[in-house]
């Protein structure tokens, strides 16, 4: 109950802040100097948040599709030999900092959202891949044997048995990728992507702490909400597995 109240309060506060940021100006004013504006108004905070979330969603969807696909591939008999290669590929994004990826991508792709999308995609591959691998390789042997005994084909076993059982662990990887991407996306503003990093960077350049706080506050609240939503999905998937096993 307390968790639901906290979640609702966070959603309400975020909605009020995005829809009517000027109402919070008195609270932010002490963080400014020399008559600087307390609320960022060069671009709508709501539109920046929407752009930020859209960029993160696209990157997470791409990372999840590739990470889960590779995880499935290397856990099949025909694809096990590709496991070292898949691990190397998915670890690239964690090896190179997103800033370095941006520096390499901008000369090729130009400024804007595309370099940021590439950086977030690479950075988010490893958690999804490793969790998919863990979920599919730690299934109870008696369950997979029972599926074989029922005459299921390999494809049927994958989609009807293995993936549903591995889903909570896979979702935990997607959750980690989403939260990491949400924070990392702020650096996209250094290459002209429309993200909430624009507010933070403006505050740093003008020594306006109020801008930095409101940009960081929005990102932080979004991270908490996304984290909570994924945890609810994981618990729902785990409960479903419990019901199936108890049936």
- Burial (CB count within 10 angstroms: exposed 0-12, middle 13-18, buried 19+), residue 22: exposed
Reported residue count of the chain is 247
Does domain 45-241 fall under CATH 3.30.470.30? My reply is no
Nearest to 42 by CA among 160, 214, 168, 157: 214
Q: pLDDT tens-digit profile of 84-117?
A: 999 998 988 778 777 778 888 888 888 888 999 9
Nearest-angstrom CA–CA distance, 81 and 84:
7
- Burial (CB count within 10 angstroms: exposed 0-12, middle 13-18, buried 19+), residue 48: buried
Nearest-angstrom CA–CA distance, 74 and 174:
18
User: Token pair 């989609």 is at which residue?
Assistant: 159
Nearest to 200 by CA among 180, 181, 220, 171: 220
Stated pTM of the model: 0.90
Half-sphere exposure of residue 12: CA atoms within 13 angstroms, side-chain side: 6
> Hey, where are the domains in the chain?
45-241
Q: pLDDT tens-digit profile of 167-211?
A: 999 999 999 999 999 999 999 888 888 999 999 999 999 899 999
Is residue 23 predicted with pLDDT exceeding 50? yes
């Amino acid at each position: 109950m307390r968790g639901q109240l906290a979640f609702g309060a966070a959603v309400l506060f975020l909605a009020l802040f995005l829809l009517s940021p000027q109402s919070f100006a008195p609270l932010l004013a002490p963080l400014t100097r020399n008559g600087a504006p307390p609320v960022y108004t060069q671009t709508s905070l709501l539109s920046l948040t929407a752009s930020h979330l859209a960029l993160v969603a696209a990157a997470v969807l791409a990372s999840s599709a590739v990470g889960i696909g590779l995880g499935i591939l290397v856990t099949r008999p025909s694809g096990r030999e590709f496991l070292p290669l898949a691990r190397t590929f998915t670890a690239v994004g964690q090896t190179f900092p997103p800033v370095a990826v941006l520096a390499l991508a901008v000369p090729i792709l130009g400024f804007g959202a595309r370099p940021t999308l590439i950086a977030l995609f690479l950075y988010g591959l490893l958690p999804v891949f490793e969790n998919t691998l863990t979920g599919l390789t730690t299934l109870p042997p008696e369950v997979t044997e029972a599926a074989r005994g029922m005459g299921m084909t390999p494809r049927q076993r994958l989609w009807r048995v293995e993936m549903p059982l591995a889903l909570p662990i896979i979702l935990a990887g997607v959750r980690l990728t989403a939260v990491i991407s949400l924070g990392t996306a702020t650096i996209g503003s250094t290459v002209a992507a429309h993200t909430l990093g624009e507010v933070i960077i403006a505050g740093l350049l003008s020594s306006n702490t109020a801008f930095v706080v409101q940009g960081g506050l929005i990102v932080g609240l979004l991270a908490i909400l996304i984290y909570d939503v994924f945890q609810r999905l994981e618990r729902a998937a785990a409960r479903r597995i419990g019901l199936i096993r108890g049936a």
